[in-house]
Homo-oligomer: A and B are copies of this chain.
Amino acid sequence: MATVTDYIDSHKEQFKEELFDLLRIPSVSTDSTHKNDVREAARFLHEKLASLDIDRADIFETDGNPIVYGELVTDESKPMVLVYGHYDVQPPDPEELWETEPFEPTIRDGNIYARGASDDKGQSFTHIKALEAYLASDQSFPVNIKFIYEGEEEIGSPHLVPFIENHKELLACDMVLISDTAMFAEDTPSLTYGLRGLAYMEVEVVGPNRDLHSGVYGGAVANPANVLAEIIAQLKDQNGVIQIPGFYDDVRELSAEDREAYQQLPFDESAYKNDLGLRALHGEKGYSTLERASARPTLDVNGLWSGYQGEGAKTVLPAKAGAKISMRLVPDQDPKTIARLFRERVESLAPDTVSVTVTEHHGGYPAVTDLSFYGLKAAARAFDDIYEQEPLFTREGGSIPIVADFQKILGAQSILMGFGLNSDAIHSPNEKFALKDFYRGIRTSAKFFEFLPEYS
């Protein structure tokens, strides 16, 4: 029998083909027409787990998309690692900007291009393959492991938290292992110890009971699109400071150490600007770009619509206008409180010439992992071993609300072992994942399991 490393090396092509099969399933959870595709992705992962010689592999039904579960206990004295991932993906739109089909994975320049390649099918699949390598090799699996894959991450995990609350014993663990973040840069692994939270809102402004002719009524009737723009403009000031009373009340200010750590990170602002094609960056006054993107709260319009969007000109005074607006949160902001403050602020800005409705999409708590946690140390060594480079410790701007939930419900801290890159375009057209990082991810995962017992 082969070693774990040998097995991984000799099965690269097969691992890639399996991932491609998973990426071909358009499991878009935000779009209800893809309901069956989402289930198909769950079935796929369950099959992969069930084909391994482990204690159990199940599909748990929820009121939404199913949860895939797997478990292998080798020695109860060893640490129990709960691997978390998600098999749902963002919608591919705008589809016309994809160079190749979003659900037909294609290799270009050493990257796998497909929706979900990095977020999170490619990254989370590494741990199943690492386990498979142990079970097929001459090395026994060094720890205990559980898997939980959900299909609603991109819609705010509405059924995952109740599931965890109802299955505390099933999911009991010493730590959660998640690969759903980015490395600091190419060949520069990093362990993310902080994540922002999220409050995602939708605002609808309704004026007249029908679209009107802008010549006949223009000037006499408040225009919902103008009103919406005026409301949005009043949510931030010129210095990028969010204008919602109470918004900053629970924000933990960055400590001197935090700011020093940020200073240590290798960061080329001019390369960052060039990559984005921007002449100038913009953000909250008094903070660096990296701080703004990961340690400070934000408010961004994610979508905007009203009236005529087609070719040419239509002289319509639209009956309604809408916007999706989300806020990234930092410790100790509470998404529920922030959603309420947002609603109050928007309602207070609404003139009586229109009706304004504020609805809440998903939210999530921010989270920070203890830098001295032993799991983090084992993960750092695994990265060092495979990438031949000590990982950086970073905070990320994105949200994985479940990290805060695992902490709260299971008392388990998370290891965010990201193999992606910020340039992976994970919510954009042409999402990609470097093929070499898919393979290094599998090897790093295997090394993490090998090193972990030493640190416990």
Q: Which residues of A contact B (CB under 8 A)?
A: 30-32, 90-91, 93-94, 97, 154-156, 182, 196, 198, 200, 202, 207-223, 225-226, 228-230, 232-234, 236, 240, 276-284, 289-290, 292-294, 296-318, 321-324, 326, 328, 351-353, 361-362, 396-399, 422, 425-430
Q: Complex: how many Å from CA A313 to CA B427? A: 12
Distance between A429 CB and nearest chain B CB, rounded to angstroms = 7
Distance between A225 CB and nearest chain B CB, rounded to angstroms = 4
Q: Which residues of the partner chain B approach A283 to less than 8 Å between Cβ atoms?
A: 219-221
26 interchain pairs (CB within 8 A)? A91-B314, A155-B313, A182-B216, A200-B313, A208-B278, A209-B276, A210-B429, A213-B398, A214-B302, A216-B426, A218-B293, A219-B292, A220-B293, A223-B301, A225-B302, A225-B304, A225-B323, A226-B233, A301-B306, A303-B308, A303-B309, A303-B314, A303-B316, A304-B304, A308-B324, A313-B324
Distance between A122 CB and nearest chain B CB, rounded to angstroms = 16
Of the residues B30, B156, B301, B398, contact of A215 by C-beta under 8 Å: B398
Q: Which secondary structure dominates where chain A touches chain B?
A: loop
* B298:A302 contact, CB within 8 angstroms: no
* B308:A211 contact, CB within 8 angstroms: no
Distance between A3 CB and nearest chain B CB, rounded to angstroms = 37
Q: Which residue of B lies closest to A234 (CB)?
A: B233
Q: Which residue of B lies closest to A327 (CB)?
A: B218
* A306:B303 contact, CB within 8 angstroms: yes
Counted per complex, copies of this chain come to 2
10 tightest A-B CB contacts, nearest first? A215-B398, A209-B277, A233-B233, A225-B301, A229-B232, A222-B282, A219-B298, A30-B312, A220-B293, A304-B306
Of the residues B156, B302, B309, contact of A317 by C-beta under 8 Å: B302
Q: Which residues of the partner chain B approach A94 to less than 8 Å between Cβ atoms?
A: 211
* A31:B310 contact, CB within 8 angstroms: yes
Of the residues B156, B208, B314, B361, contact of A277 by C-beta under 8 Å: B208
Distance between A211 CB and nearest chain B CB, rounded to angstroms = 4
Q: Complex: how many Å from CA A312 to CA B427? A: 14
* B93:A301 contact, CB within 8 angstroms: no
Q: Which residues of the partner chain B approach A316 to less than 8 Å between Cβ atoms?
A: 302-303, 427-428
Q: Which residues of the partner chain B approach A305 to less than 8 Å between Cβ atoms?
A: 304-306, 309
* B293:A314 contact, CB within 8 angstroms: no
* B303:A318 contact, CB within 8 angstroms: yes
Q: Complex: how many Å from CA A236 to CA B225? A: 13
- Known A-B contacts A207-B278, A212-B276, A279-B353; the reply to A397 vs B217 at CB < 8 A is yes
* B216:A326 contact, CB within 8 angstroms: no
Q: Which residues of the partner chain B approach A398 to less than 8 Å between Cβ atoms?
A: 213, 215-216, 315
Distance between A134 CB and nearest chain B CB, rounded to angstroms = 33
Q: Complex: how many Å from CA A421 to CA B136? A: 80
Q: Which residue of B lies closest to A200 (CB)?
A: B313
Known: A91-B310, A216-B396, A302-B317. 17 other contacts (CB 8 A): A30-B312, A155-B313, A200-B313, A213-B398, A213-B428, A214-B427, A218-B300, A220-B282, A220-B283, A220-B290, A225-B323, A302-B307, A303-B309, A303-B314, A305-B309, A314-B427, A316-B427
Q: Which residues of the partner chain B approach A232 to less than 8 Å between Cβ atoms?
A: 225-226, 229-230, 233
Q: Which residues of the partner chain B approach A396 to less than 8 Å between Cβ atoms?
A: 215-216
Q: Which residues of the partner chain B approach A281 to less than 8 Å between Cβ atoms?
A: 220-222, 353
Distance between A23 CB and nearest chain B CB, rounded to angstroms = 19
Q: Complex: how many Å from CA A240 to CA B314? A: 22
Q: Complex: how many Å from CA A236 to CA B229? A: 11
Q: Which residue of B lies closest to A201 (CB)?
A: B313
Of the residues B290, B312, B317, B422, contact of A300 by C-beta under 8 Å: B317
* B328:A324 contact, CB within 8 angstroms: no
Q: Which residues of the partner chain B approach A318 to less than 8 Å between Cβ atoms?
A: 301-304
Distance between A207 CB and nearest chain B CB, rounded to angstroms = 7
Distance between A38 CB and nearest chain B CB, rounded to angstroms = 13
Q: Which residues of the partner chain B approach A202 to less than 8 Å between Cβ atoms?
A: 313
Q: Which residues of the partner chain B approach A280 to less than 8 Å between Cβ atoms?
A: 222, 351-353
- Known A-B contacts A208-B277, A298-B218; the reply to A326 vs B309 at CB < 8 A is no
